[in-house]
Amino acid sequence: MMRARSSPTRLKLLVLSGPQVGQSHVLAPGAYRLGKSAECDIVLNDKAISRQHLRLDVSEGGVKATDLDSHNGSFCEGMRFSELEVRPGAVLRLGSTELKLVPESSRERVIPPSESTRFGGLVGTSRRMREVFTLLERLAPGGADVLIQGETGTGKELCAEAIHAQGPRAKGPFVIVDLAGIAPSLIESELFGHVKGAFTGAQADRAGAFERAAGGTVFLDEVGELPVEVQPRLLRALERRQVKRVGANDYRALEVRVLAATHVDLEKAVQEGRFRADLYHRLAVLRVTLPPLRERPEDVPLLIDTVLERLGRPGSALSDATRAMLLQYPWPGNVRELRNVVEQVVNLGEEALPDMGAAPAPTGEQRAASLDLPFKEAKERLIEGFERDYLQGLIERCGGNISRAAREAGIARLYLRKLLHKHGLSARDTDE
């Protein structure tokens, strides 16, 4: 096999299940054959795998997987494929063997997927979600603080509720603080409370969220929005389990579990100086990452049924054709968007489907395909794709700041917020 002398980001293949579970294979650039035959580069002794089952072509540009006409087929995220560009994080399944592509430096270990397809209100049949359930089953009863990461709509709040409900302080209060929805100047008092006269408008003593959550759990949503000057205070509260109201002199000891969630990459925020490294490390001791829905389409059918059940509607409320369409969609707004679409279809009928809003950005191939559609539909698709590309670039350029992005694009902030919402994108709505 040919190997290049060096490669910048090497990948490895982690065997998640099957007879070789726990093994890993570093993938230098080159071609690899996977199968039961001893002649293969990666031998997998799995009865349901063909002698020569799959080929992986690894180059610096990526990894291409080609099924070698195997008897039982090759699958990725529940779909059978004959040829596929595999991105890091993807899980391939051959027979009863699952293989995950991860960076070589990854310290990720094999997590056995939970037997259960739910944890509290969270449901999911995919391996990724059942791994999350295993972590949650281990973490929740201990009562430790947990950082929950995931894109918007992936279920972070639901996850926090479930950790609280299955933790030692389940009988205590569950207090939510949405840090993105509070003016930065009021955050400290919201969290820790204040004494009368501490600032203009502080007309009486007031307990903060930490005190109100005493004996229970405080959930800090969008913790990445915490102003830098308040960050040392949160760090102190986490380390010493005590808080001081704004304007007070004394600290009060608190028995409280702290759960925090973020949809932004906090590690990047640390590198950019927007988030303190010490606070990040304290928060990230125990982490749970909820995968985006587009990486686990196997979960879509159960999620649809769960939404229908919550609406008190039978599974037959959605036709097979609609279900098939929902399976194809990339869900930029994740489970929240799926829930909204199912509700819309149930209430307005299946003709509501073409107005699903956030159409995916069309690839070159899809753009060409849309030339076959009726003019109006083709035009709408292209515009949606353009909007999404434009907004993504804009938000990235403006560091996620809505005010700056609206100024740069020459549109009103409210309109920009609506557009972002429509496309399941998020940004910070703060005044600079």
Ligand X SMILES: Nc1ncnc2c1ncn2[C@@H]1O[C@H](COP(=O)(O)OP(=O)(O)OP(=O)(O)O)[C@@H](O)[C@H]1O
Gyration radius of the chain's alpha carbons: 24
| Residue span binding ligand X (CB under 6 A) among the ranges 148-156, 241-249, 372-380, 387-395 | 148-156
Find out whether 335 and 155 touch, Cβ atoms under 8 Å. yes
Shortest reach from residue 337's CB to ligand X, in Å = 9
Shortest reach from residue 400's CB to ligand X, in Å = 14
- Residue from 150, 167, 292, 400 touching ligand X (CB under 6 A): that is 150
- Residue from 263, 296, 381, 423 touching ligand X (CB under 6 A): that is 263
Residue 154 contacts ligand X per CB under 6 A: yes
Q: How far apart are CA 142 and CA 69, in angstroms?
A: 48
Shortest reach from residue 121's CB to ligand X, in Å = 6
Of 9, 40, 62, 46, which is closest to residue 54 (Cα–Cα)?
A: 40
Residue nearer to ligand X on the CB measure, 157 or 429: 157
Residue nearer to ligand X on the CB measure, 198 or 317: 317
Shortest reach from residue 117's CB to ligand X, in Å = 10
| Residue span binding ligand X (CB under 6 A) among the ranges 96-104, 147-155, 270-278, 362-370 | 147-155
HSE toward the beta carbon, residue 406, CA cutoff 13 A: 19
Number of amino acids touching ligand X (CB under 6 A): 18
Residue of closest CB approach to ligand X: 155
**Helix-helix angle 402-409:375-397, to 10 degrees:** 120
Q: 3-state DSSP helix/strand/coil percent for the chain, to nearest 5?
A: 40, 20, 40
- Residue from 95, 120, 153, 400 touching ligand X (CB under 6 A): that is 153
**78-137: contacts with ligand X (CB under 6 A):** 121-124
Shortest reach from residue 32's CB to ligand X, in Å = 34
Shortest reach from residue 420's CB to ligand X, in Å = 12
- Residue from 41, 108, 157, 295 touching ligand X (CB under 6 A): that is 157
Token duo for residue 270: 């640390």
- Residue from 155, 216, 332, 424 touching ligand X (CB under 6 A): that is 155
Shortest reach from residue 306's CB to ligand X, in Å = 5
Q: How far apart are CA 402 and CA 418, in angstroms?
A: 11
Q: How far apart are CA 168 and CA 142, in angstroms?
A: 7
Of 116, 15, 103, which is closest to residue 62 (Cα–Cα)?
A: 103
Find out whether 299 and 154 touch, Cβ atoms under 8 Å. no
- The contact mask relative to ligand X for 334-373 (x = CB under 6 A, - = no) is -xx--x----------------------------------
Dihedral pair phi/psi, residue 393, rounded to 5°: -65, -45
Of 217, 167, 172, 209, which is closest to residue 191 (Cα–Cα)?
A: 209
Residues that bind ligand X (CB under 6 A): 121-124, 150, 152-158, 263, 303, 306, 335-336, 339
